[in-house]
Structure 1
Amino acid sequence: MTDRRRGTRAVHEALPAPMREAVDDFADHLARVRNRSAHTVRAYVTDLVSLLDHAVRMGCTDLSELDLTVLRSWLAKQRTVGAARTSLARRAAAARTFSAWAHRAGLLAGDVAAPLASPRAHRELPTVLRADQAAALMDAPDRSRTPAPTDAGRPRDGDDTRPGKGDATPTRDRGDAPPGSEPDPVLLRDRLLLELLYGTGVRISEACGLDVTDVDQGRRVVRVLGKGGRERAVPYGVPAQRALDAWLTQGRPALAAPRSDRALLLGARGGRLNPTTARRIVAGYAEAAGLPRVTPHGLRHSAATHLLEGGADLRAVQELLGHSSLASTQIYTHVSVERLRAAYRQAHPRA
């Protein structure tokens, strides 16, 4: 458990009993009724515990005393200690979500956070690779023979990093494999991971959550369970199919263990590949290929940008990415100006 989570638990235990019960009931509501991810539940609970601790320090002895003044004071304090605009926006959203739920549950006389304004988050756009850079990254596992460890520490649950073996950064040129030699299963896994992230634009959590049964090889689509429990079918291309075939026939059987269950992507110890490990894998290959720093979300961003630049419909990209709002997809149009200019010059009579 991280220091931050220990601190949150300690503050939670110090709250008055009715407030502790409200926090627990709210967390259960988010997980069971709203079907929010474990990450979202943790973030909202952390924000709520911080808010209620601030309310107690302001003299509130009961949840019913929570009001807009307390909420604004809490956000103002967060700002003074240097919280980013994105963090403030999320905390305001957590407060509004809790307030609406508490009102419906009869814990608050009104939805006190409904008028609460939040700063517009400044969205930092991740690095967009050029098409040739993306191709170089996809080929990076083929140029590597032996991965080097990136984390010799103790693995987290589901994180199968092993000192000296697997889940790591490529370091040596591979060259031609000796005749009859078996390919490294970890490199086959890495190739599939990169192809899936760029070829489908799925989130890293979605990729690591895939089961073997989620892949329809006949139609070349994967069934993805996204945010809010929304399911979607995402197509993938021929390079990803080749990587998948190699992984399923030569890679996965070599790493599979009783704990593997139906997981598609496995760590070096046979468990489901952990997103944290997957992020290190992507960053390691990008560094080895001499590319700018790349994250899995950067690959998702690159995939969406390249689709739009290639003429894909914005609604289609929205469906592929699993965005509930078209506004989320529109951030990917920022680098498509040249395509729009070309279309304008070609079509407009006054161009």
Structure 2
Amino acid sequence: MDPGFMAERAVDPGTRAVRWVVADTGTLELQVEATAFIASLRSRGLSPNTERAYAGRVALYLNHCTERRLDWRAPSFLSLSGFQRWLVTEPLPPRGRRRPDGPVLRSRNTANAVMTAVAGLLRFCVANGWADPNVAALLAQPKYLVHLPAGYDAGEHNQFRTVDAAAFRFRLTDPGYEDLTPDQIAHMVGLAPRARDRFLIALLACTGVRIGEALGLRRQDMHLLASSRALGCSTEGPHIHVHRRTDNPNRALAKTRKPRTIPVTADLVALYTAYRHERDAVAAAADGDMVFVNLLRPPLGRAMSYPNTKEMFDRLARTARHACRPHMLRHSAATTWLRDGVDRDVVQYLLGHVSPLSMERYRHVDDTETRAAVERLQALRENR
């Protein structure tokens, strides 16, 4: 076997907690520096999903250096630049049964994510004396902020307008964010063959929760009565509770660090009731604690996983003949709230964002709004 490294999932035998490490592909020995870096992410409270992504990206960099006999601890500007270019020019190996017609390349956005992980590894190693100290200077370059982000304080004398920016990062055009119209969402609900899937689609569209938060819901989080005081909850009206848990059997994770309460509509309560009837008919699924569980495929009653959910949305997309992804429903909820005049602080809470800067991605202008603005101006001119 050729020398190399891989991201590997590890389970703590005592706590059963999932950890991610970088290991040698031949001996399975840990790559000490990379594994310590991944552990540092964990100590900062980042999720296991983030650990997994960073472990894979770091292993990719280590393998690239190994194959070219480069010292990953002391890369030159040219070697880092070459790795960045390699990321978007080297075809990906085929995956699954389907073979694409041509080579599949990484996007520039994916390459930027890899370079971010590599820069984090190198800075971590420099701080611990494991890498050439001169490397740190290669990873950043000064950038003057001509346009300040919302809420950013440039200082009394604009002393904070110059910031350190990533040196190895492709410049991207704004790809825009896709959302779904109410008619498209209703069509998706109508196309879903099972009550469980109809409830999941409606839940994402109604509450704006992330798919990981939805798949991590427990039945005790569903407070769908007019009053939940009997359950020890003072929140009035039907609602759900979103918690950050790291012990979900399907590895679903709520990205938000703070629990939050999200009101739901009577229509969503009706869909959940229909799902409960469907679920109760499957003996193995009737008493499980997780909200979303397998109803047709074994093991019955097990919590739905990310791959199963993606497969379900892919089938819906083919039937509906338009893109249909869970995050599009989250984006649709946020955009609808903002267009309807809901206060940005309220929307930020509902979405579980810590920073108000994260809200910028959700508010965009559509054709209806631009048409209305032009027609309003024309009407004013005619009235004058």
TM-score, with normalisation over the residues of structure 2?
Answer: 0.65
CA distances 1:5-35 after superposition (whole Å, capped 9, x unpaired):
x9835995169999811122222222x3133
CA distances 1:273-322 after superposition (whole Å, capped 9, x unpaired):
1122223323434554x452311122222222222222223333233223
Following superposition, the deviation at residue 200 of structure 1 comes to 1.0
CA distances 1:215-247 after superposition (whole Å, capped 9, x unpaired):
232443322233264433322222111122333
Following superposition, the deviation at residue 91 of structure 1 comes to 0.9
Where do residues 262-281 of structure 1 align in structure 2 (5 Å cutoff)?
A: 262-268=289-295, 269-281=300-312
The answer on whether the counterparts of 2:313 and 2:324 sit within 8 Å (CA) in structure 1 is: yes
The answer on whether the counterparts of 1:196 and 1:240 sit within 8 Å (CA) in structure 2 is: yes
Aligned to 2:189: 138
Question: 103-112 or 48-57: which moved more?
Answer: 103-112
Q: Which has the higher contact order (CA 8 A, sep 6+)?
A: 1
RMSD, matched Cα: 3.6
Aligned to 1:207: 214
- Distance in 1 between residues matched to 2:198 and 2:56, nearest whole Å: 36
Flag structure 2 segments of 5+ consecutive residues without an equivalent.
9-21, 91-104, 142-166, 228-236, 245-253
- Distance in 1 between residues matched to 2:315 and 2:304, nearest whole Å: 16
The answer on whether the counterparts of 2:57 and 2:117 sit within 8 Å (CA) in structure 1 is: yes
Following superposition, the deviation at residue 190 of structure 1 comes to 1.6
Question: 9-18 or 208-217: which moved more?
Answer: 9-18
SS of equivalent to 2:31: helix
Among 200, 222, 225, which residue is 2:240 paired with? 222
Change (3 A) 1:333 1:69: same
Following superposition, the deviation at residue 253 of structure 1 comes to 2.8
The answer on whether the counterparts of 1:92 and 1:118 sit within 8 Å (CA) in structure 2 is: yes
- Distance in 2 between residues matched to 1:122 and 1:321, nearest whole Å: 25
The answer on whether the counterparts of 2:195 and 2:274 sit within 8 Å (CA) in structure 1 is: yes
Where do residues 75-224 of structure 1 align in structure 2 (5 Å cutoff)?
A: 75-81=84-90, 82-108=105-131, 110=133, 111=136, 113-115=139-141, 116-122=167-173, 124-125=175-176, 127-141=178-192, 170=193, 187-217=194-224, 218=227, 219-224=237-242
Aligned to 1:307: 337
- Distance in 1 between residues matched to 2:49 and 2:286, nearest whole Å: 23
The answer on whether the counterparts of 2:87 and 2:106 sit within 8 Å (CA) in structure 1 is: yes
Percent identity, aligned pairs only, is: 26
SS of equivalent to 1:227: coil
Flag structure 1 segments of 5+ consecutive residues without an equivalent.
1-5, 142-169, 171-186
Among 248, 256, 269, which residue is 1:241 paired with? 269
Following superposition, the deviation at residue 86 of structure 1 comes to 0.7
Among 361, 367, 381, which residue is 1:331 paired with? 361
Greater helix fraction, Structure 1 or Structure 2: 1
Change (3 A) 1:109 1:223: farther
Following superposition, the deviation at residue 48 of structure 1 comes to 0.9
Aligned to 1:29: 40
Question: 7-16 or 220-229: which moved more?
Answer: 7-16
Aligned to 2:31: 20
How many correspondences in the alignment? 298
Where do residues 289-308 of structure 1 align in structure 2 (5 Å cutoff)?
A: 290=320, 292-308=322-338
- Distance in 1 between residues matched to 2:32 and 2:46, nearest whole Å: 19
TM-score, with normalisation over the residues of structure 1?
Answer: 0.71
Change (3 A) 1:58 1:341: same
Aligned to 1:52: 62
- Distance in 2 between residues matched to 1:89 and 1:96, nearest whole Å: 10
SS of equivalent to 1:279: helix
